[in-house]
Amino acid sequence: MLKAQNLTKRFFGLLAVDSASIDVEEGSITGLIGPNGAGKTTMFAMIAGFLSPNSGQVAFEGNDITGEKPHLRARRGLARTFQIVQPFAGLNVRDNIAVGAYLHTKDPREARSLASQTAERVGLGRELEKLASGLTIAGRKRLELARALATRPKLLLLDEVLAGLNPSEIRDVLPIIRSIRDEGVTILMIEHIMQAVMNLCDSVYVLSQGRMIASGEPRAVCNDPAVIEAYLGHGAAERIRSEGAADA
């Protein structure tokens, strides 16, 4: 559904993403993981159109969208959330979500009722009238999700929607994400919380220092020596294996 090929992004001297490719299957939940500063969010920004790559291509449903503006991608059905939440602080929850809903209807009444339904779905049903600036961090993450959902996306890009949530909040959000997929929305998510990644993802890509170092089924990827070294440092994979052997 989404094919990003050989994306490269350079910020002056810094090579943030180096010829990374990603392929998201329709109907799947695909994870994008990697240590801090690996370039995950930059990769997302290029896919969503907020940054233009120095080289490489992004194709969505077979169409090349590399040079397209973000709002046009949103109209194609590509919605994103932000890692650093970006609520419309002065608006209440319903109006925040309604902005997303206006993508498919110009009728305010319809948009507002769609917004209420979407809020219900992510568990914000009781805070419709609350100002976005008054929400807790967990509430704002839900709001990000609801706004993106209100655009009725085909592909949802989630940038660390679980970061900053406590374990019980995470337990609440996981089934929501799964239910979104079950309704036919493909999901590509950046996530640090491995429990969530193992739990949700059909396949995982690992980005480290701008390069895609591994991809595949989550369990296999986690045991990949290259991945372990990326997270824990050079020689870590070797050490873990020898310790494992000693224990056995």
Partner 1 sequence: MIGNREFLYALAFLIVIGVLAVVGLPGNILNLFIFMMIIALAAQGWNLLGGYGGLSSFGHAAFFGTGAYTTAILQTNFGFNAWVGLVCGVAFGSIVGAVIGFLSFRAGLRGSYFALITLAFAEVLRVLANSWSVTGGAAGMLVRLQNGFTYLQFSDRRYFLLILIAFVAATLFLTRWLERSAFGAYLVALRENDQAAQALGVDVFRIKMQAITLSAGVTALAGCLYVQNFLFIDANVAYGSWISIEALFAAIVGGAGTIIGPLIGSVVLLGLGELTKSFAGGIAGIDLVVFGVILVLCVAFAPNGIRGFFSDLAHKRANRMDAA
Indicate whether 106 belongs to the interface with partner 1 (CB under 8 A).
yes
Q: Does 108 bind partner 1 (CB under 8 A)?
A: yes
**Interface stretch with partner 1, choices 5-13, 29-37, 55-63, 65-73 (CB under 8 A):** 65-73
Name the one range near partner 1 by CB under 8 A: 12-20, 21-29, 81-89, 119-127: 81-89
* Nearest CA among 42, 45, 73, 43 for reference residue 59: 73
Q: What is the DSSP string of 184-235?
A: T-EEEEE---HHHHHHH-SEEEEEETTEEEEEESHHHHHT-HHHHHHHH-TT
Stretch that binds partner 1, among 9-17, 79-87, 214-222, 238-246 (CB under 8 A): 79-87
Site for partner 1 in 182-211 (CB under 8 A): none
Among 98, 158, 180, 213, binds partner 1 (CB under 8 A): 98
Structure tokens, 116: 């209420």
14 or 89: whose CB is closer to partner 1?
89
Q: Which of 23, 56, 59, 91 binds partner 1 (CB under 8 A)?
A: 91
Among 30, 53, 147, 197, binds partner 1 (CB under 8 A): 147
**What SS3 state is found at 152?**
coil
The tokens for 100 are 């997303």
Q: Name the minimum Å distance from CB 23 to partner 1.
A: 23
Q: What are the DSSP E strand ranges found in 34-168?
A: 55-60, 63-64, 78-80, 155-159
**Cβ neighbourhood burial of 181 (10 Å; 0-12, 13-18, 19+):** middle
The residues that touch partner 1, with contacts defined as CB under 8 A, are 48, 50, 69-71, 74-75, 79-82, 86-91, 95, 98-100, 102-103, 105-106, 108, 111, 147-148, 150-151
